[in-house]
Amino acid sequence: MKKIILGLSSLLLCGFALVGCTDTPNVPNDPDNSGENGDNQGGNQGGNQDEFDLNAEIQVYSRDTSSGTRDGFFTALGREDMKGDDKLLAEGTSIVAGNGDMINSIKNDKYGIGYASLASVEENADSVKGLTFNGVEASAKTVIDGSYKLSRNFNYIISTHLNENEEVMVNAFLAYMNSKEGLGIIASEDGILEKNINDAMSWQELTTSNEDVKQALALSEQGTKVSINLGGSTSVEGIATALTSSFEELVEGFVPSHNHTGSGDAYKNTQGSGSTGTSALQIGFLSREIKLDGDEKAAEGTYGRICKDGIVAVINPANTTLTDASAALLLAIFDGTLTTWNAVKNYEGPLTGDIQVYSRDTTSGTRDGFFTALGESSLKGDDEALAEGVSIVASNGDMINSIKNDKYGIGYASLASVEENADSVKGLTFNGVEASAKTVIDGSYKLSRNFNYIISTHLNENEEVMVNAFLAYMNSKEGLGIIASEDGILEKNINDAMSWQELTTSNEDVKQALALSEQGTKVSINLGGSTSVEGIAEALTSSFSSLVKGFVANHNHTGSGDAYKNTQGSGAEGTSALQIGFLSREIELDGDEKAAEGTYGRICKDGIVCIVNPKNNVLSDADADLLLAIFKGEITKWEDVK
């Protein structure tokens, strides 16, 4: 059997080519009189309503997970995961059982959108409106020449449990299917042929040259009846029933029985778990490819292609919002990203063009924390390792402003800055986790860093008193409250800290600082370092100086790199010297920052968020590999970001 079937399969497969798909942005029509002031009654409205309300919610219709039409539709759109998981579809999606049900649903719901076989759409052109895809209309010609990309193949598979008579009848039927007459029937049932009918043998020629055909006719002359169960795809059902109806007139011993329940049952009931039970089929049909690399391990020579078919996205004729669609637009509708027809009308398509990378300078603790968290510490201090044309900005504020004004931009900023500018920039989730105080503390959000301080080793007596008193205040209930109010993420419980009042009677440095103030002694304390910590530092010193009048704060924040340098490093005794420095990264104790023991500590934690312009509809989540590929210039165009 296999040798004969293989020959037939080779005939079927001759000249066949799979059709791919492209993701080209859609530019929806913007018709006049689009019904913006129409009724607002949502879905389940027929096409005879006068107005089309753009504010109405989209009602999505889909076939079930066993459907070959669904498989072909989402495979062509580049989202194979959606073909078998209803949870990935828009909330409230209605699941229908066949092309007929789909047509009827869209016919009676002017706010609906679905998809159906090209033949079904052509037969119901007065009831539904088929959309062009990337500007190309679906037709037999455009499916064959490959310009219409939403297409799929109609395939067959036969049982591996055939008895001798069944094998003869099945092989004879497959030979007829590929005859001039059989191909004519397929074409008449809207199957799109890839072979020329004139190149095929006629039935008359087969009766004298094909051994299975001769044996099938002999069985019929003997009065032998052979029952053949056929099923699988509902999309192929019309072709299958037309073929068997014609074939049984020629071969009277062939007794067909059809039960089409979906492409998923074709392999299952011919060679899979149902192949020997009550649902067993001798021939199954699929409106998708057999999953040879998956669960459908079909035996060699037992399957082949019948013809091709187009799949068409369909809407109600009353819907004037849309005439053409792209893969990106259809996916945005079917996954629930776009929920109203007004959103569809204003859809601009996915962002395309060159990526503009923004980064902080090499002294920035935010940059250090960002690339350290991504596992690429070498990028924190080397601009040449970043993407060509990278723009270097000086602060979180500059970063926010840059991304706000550049829809092609991508950068990173402190969580607090992103939250404060949520209307100006879009923060990306990282590995699917949203940045928040909770996720930073529990460790599920991995793009985080610590805010630290370091004090000078060149303090005079009064400076030492004031610095120590300030640090005590920073860790008091009041100080921790200020840190939290300035978006610092606390790791300690405020209730466990001492109050300022308690410190005034128990902490020797605090008592001495208050005594200096009472004497009228003013002690200037220079603070600087990280710009990310600047807000917290200024809020703390402002409050502390109102309690300790002798404390005079001078802020000059120029980056985390200057915190160690100007407290204990090369600038510790010059004009840029600081008594307290702040860092939005770790002190490099194993590197060049040999901070003295007991002169540094942690203030709080912070998240770092990768940000894009709100108009960027390509990216909402990222992982380290993707971000590094972008920031290193390995991915340079938005259309290449997946």
What is the DSSP secondary-structure string of 464-499? HHHHHHHHHHHTSHHHHHHHHHTT-B-SS-GGGSPP
- pLDDT exceeds 60 at position 36: no
* pLDDT band with cut points at 50, 70 and 90 for residue 349: confident
pLDDT of residue 460: 97
Place of tokens 């037969």: 123
pLDDT of residue 364: 86
**Helices 461-474 and 508-518: crossing angle, nearest 10°?**
120
Note if the pTM is more than 0.75. Answer: no
pLDDT of residue 147: 95
Q: Which of 589, 574, 539, 582 has its CA nearest to residue 557?
A: 582
CATH superfamily of 356-449+608-640: Periplasmic binding protein-like II (3.40.190.10)
pLDDT of residue 50: 58
d(CA 618, CA 349): 9
Q: Which residues partner with 216 through β-bridges?
A: none
d(CA 607, CA 626): 19
Domain 450-604 has CATH 1.20.58: no
Residue 607, helix vs strand vs coil = strand
- 443 Rama class: left (phi>0) / alpha (psi -120 to 50) / beta: left
pLDDT digits (tens, 9 = 90+) for 472-518: 999 999 999 999 988 899 988 999 999 999 999 999 999 999 999 99
- pLDDT exceeds 60 at position 44: no
* Domain boundaries of the chain, sorted by first residue: 1-350, 356-449+608-640, 450-604
SS (H, E, C) 350-404: CCCCECEEEEECCCCHHHHHHHHHCCCHHHHHCHHHCCCCCEEECCHHHHHHHHH
